[in-house]
């Protein structure tokens, strides 16, 4: 058991050491929400269910009194995903949706627990080109930094540990976005 816990210590310490990066991403997200933007979340494999988890956390906060914020998991529409994948290839499933659903004031959050995922990378590239704020949550080898404005890295190679760190990250994102929104003077 000690070994299992020790393997999680360094990635969580890394996250704590990069708290400033997380706070900057949260602030930028809060600015976009304050301006009427929506959150579009996406990821493949187990990250697809995390994308849905993130969206529901923002749309339907479990903490009473916290403001609901507009969020959509691009992974939830199986018909659209499989239709785009059949015609254009799986790497285009998020980029296509962003092209047709997103507005320049929105936020793209790409989750890549396995590192550099082609569909997540393309989604972030499309989002950035459309004018969205782009946040990537990755493993040690994630999308290239130019694909996102904010890259939050889980410093682990084990995808299970990366996922655990990502869960912590997106709960912190949710919490700090609300902290900033409760202090609108910080959003200038």
pLDDT digits (tens, 9 = 90+) for 106-163: 999 999 988 778 999 999 999 999 999 999 999 877 666 678 999 999 998 888 899 9
In this predicted model, what pLDDT tens digit does every residue of 35-64 receive, in sequence order? Answer: 999 999 999 998 999 999 999 999 998 887
Domains of the chain: 2-187 (3.40.50.10490)
**Strand 107-112 with 133-138, pairing:** parallel
Q: Which residues contact 113 (CB under 8 A, 6 or more apart)?
A: 43, 45, 46, 47, 50, 138, 139, 154, 159, 162, 163, 166
CA dihedral defined by 19, 22, 26, 29, rounded to 10 degrees? Answer: 160
Q: What is the pTM of this model?
A: 0.94
Which helix or strand (DSSP H or E) is residue 100 part of?
helix 93-101
Q: How far apart are CA 73 and CA 42, in angstroms?
A: 6
Mean pLDDT, all residues of the chain: 92
In this predicted model, what pLDDT tens digit does every residue of 59-82 receive, in sequence order? Answer: 998 887 889 999 999 999 999 999
Q: How far apart are CA 132 and CA 84, in angstroms?
A: 21
């Amino acid at each position: 058991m000690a070994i299992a816990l020790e393997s999680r210590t360094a990635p969580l310490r890394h996250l704590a050491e990069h708290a400033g990066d997380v706070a900057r991403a949260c602030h930028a997200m809060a600015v976009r929400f304050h301006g009427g933007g929506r959150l579009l979340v996406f990821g493949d494999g187990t990250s697809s269910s995390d994308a849905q988890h993130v969206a529901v956390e923002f749309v339907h906060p479990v903490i009473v009194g916290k403001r609901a914020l507009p969020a959509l998991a691009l992974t939830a529409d199986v018909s659209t995903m499989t239709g785009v994948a059949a015609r254009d290839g799986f790497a285009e499933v998020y980029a296509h949706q962003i092209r047709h659903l997103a507005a320049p004031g929105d936020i793209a959050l790409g989750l890549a627990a396995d590192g550099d995922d082609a569909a997540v990378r393309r989604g972030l590239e499309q989002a950035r080109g459309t004018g969205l704020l782009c946040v990537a949550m990755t493993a040690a080898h994630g999308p290239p930094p130019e694909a996102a404005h904010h890259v939050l890295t889980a410093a682990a190679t084990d995808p299970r540990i990366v996922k655990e760190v990502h869960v912590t990250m997106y709960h912190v994102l949710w919490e700090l976005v609300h902290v900033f929104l409760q202090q609108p003077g910080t959003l200038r």
